Structure 1
Amino acid sequence: MTHSKPAVGMPLPLMSLPKLGGGAIDIGGARGRHMLLVVYRGKHCGRCKKYLTSLDGMAGDWEAAGFDIVTVSADPLEKAQADLDEYGWRFPIGYDLSEAQMRDLGVYISDPLSPQETDRRFAEPAVFCVRPDGIIQIACLSNGPAARPDLVELLDGMKFNIAHDRPARGMA
C-alpha cells in the first residue's frame, strides 16, 4: 500500500473524534490558537505512555506558548479510558481514530503482531504543529514506536517559528 505524507503548508484535514469524558475533538480548520496534535499507538504501547506522560508534565509550557494540546488514537473507549484512569493525563484524548482518518492524516498504519498486542490496526506515532489558521507547520511521522520528536526541542523550535513568523518548510 502506498503512503502519502501530510502536506505541510496546507490545511490539516477536518475530522471529528469522540473525546474521553464526552463530546468530540474536532481538528482541522481555524481555531484561534496553535495546536499540538499527537497521534499515539494506543494502550498496548509502553513508549506512548512514557511520551504522553512527558507531554503532560510540559503541558503548561505548551499552553503558555499558545498551544492547545490534542491527542488521538485508534483505541476504543475502554482502552483509552483505562490509560487515562491509570496515568491521569490532563489534555483532551480522542479515541476510535478510523483507518480512513489515519490515511487522511498521512500517518503510518500497522497491523497488530498478535491478538495479545491489540485487536485492530493502529496508527504509528505522529506529531503535528498546526497554526491558528489550520495550516500544518510541522509534521513528524514515525513508522514505529522508537522514533518521536523531543518535546522540549520541538517547543523551543515552535516558539522561534512563531516569534519570527516562519513559514512551513519542506514543502517540496
Structure 2
Amino acid sequence: MTQTKPRVGAPVGEMTWPLTNGGTVSVGGARDRWTMLFVYRGKHCPRCKRFLNKLDAALPAWTAQMDVVVVSADTQDKAQADKAEFGWGFDLAYGLSEAQMRDLGLYVSDPLSEAETTDRFAEPGAFGIRPDGTLMLVDISNGPAARPDLEELLDGMTFNIENNRPVRGTA
C-alpha cells in the first residue's frame, strides 16, 4: 500500500477555493504571513463541528499569528448551512477536489451510506505553511477521532514563527 506523504520543506502547490461569503481563498505561493490550513470532513461530521467550534473560540489568538483557512469537499449549500448554523468567525471554504486531497497527502474516504454524505471526502488534516509557500508542519488523520490539540498546535506554531525554526522530519 502506498500513501504519498506531503513533503515538508517543499512548496505547496497553489490551490484556490470559493468561500461561503462569496469570495475566494488560496494557499500555496508566497504570502505576507504564515498560513494554517485546516481540512475537515464536511457537514456530516459532528466531531468536525466540535473541533471547528474550538477553533472559532480561539480564532483571535490564531489570527494574531497567522492566516487561517478552513476547507472541506462539501458543496456550497452544505458549507453555507454549517456557517449559518454555527456562526463561525473564520472564512469557510468548500469544494476541495479529490486531486487536491491527494496532493495534500490526505486520506480519502467513501461515504458509508447516503445518510452520511454522497461523495468522497477528505479525512482531517492541518498544514502549517510558511510565507514563502513551503510546507512547515503536517498533521493528518485517517479518521475523525484524531485531531491536533489546538492550544498545543498554536503554541508550537508560535514558537516556530518567532524562532524561525527549521523544518523537521525530512529524513
TM-score per shorter chain, which class? over 0.9
- SS in structure 2 of the partner of residue 29 of structure 1: coil
Counterpart amino acid of residue 108 in structure 2: I
Give 1:156's aligned residue.
155
> How many angstroms apart in 2 are the aligned matches of 1:121 and 1:154?
28
Letter matched to residue 59 of structure 1: L
Structure 2: distance between partners of 1:32 and 1:15? 17
1:48 matched to which residue of 2?
48
Q: What is the match of residue 20 of structure 2?
A: 20
Q: Secondary structure at the match of 1:25?
A: strand
Give the partner amino acid of 1:115: E
Partner of 1:114: 113
One-letter amino acid of the structure 1 residue matched with residue 23 of structure 2:
G
Q: Return 5+ residue gaps in structure 2 as ranges.
A: none
**Cα shift readout 1:2-55 (whole Å, capped 9, x = no counterpart):** 321111111112111111111211111111101110000000000100001100
TM-score normalised according to structure 1 size? 0.96
Which whole-Å CA distance do the structure 2 matches of 1:154 and 1:25 have between them?
22
Which portions of structure 1, spanning 4 or more consecutive aligned residues, are displaced by more than 2 angstroms? none
Counterpart-to-counterpart distance in 1, 2:17 and 2:78:
15
Structure-2 residue corresponding to 1:36:
36
Match of 1:92 in 2: 91
Counterparts of 2:158 and 2:23 in 1: how far apart (Å)?
A: 30
CA distance in 1, matches of 2:117, 2:44: 6
- Which residue identity is paired with 2:14? L
Which consecutive unaligned segments of at least 5 residues does structure 1 have? none
CA distance in 2, matches of 1:6, 1:136: 8
1:166 aligns with 2:150: no
Question: How far apart in 2 are the matches of 1:95 and 1:153?
Answer: 26
Tell me which residue corresponds to 1:3: 3
Deviations 1:69-110 (A, max 9, x none): 100000001111100000011111111111011111111100
Amino acid at match of 2:13: P
> Cα RMSD over matched residues?
1.0
Q: Please report how far the alpha carbon of residue 163 of structure 1 lies from its aligned counterpart in structure 2 after TM superposition.
A: 1.9
Partner of 1:140: 139
Q: Identity of counterpart residues, as a percentage?
A: 58
Q: Count matched residues.
A: 171
Which residue is equivalent to 1:80? 79
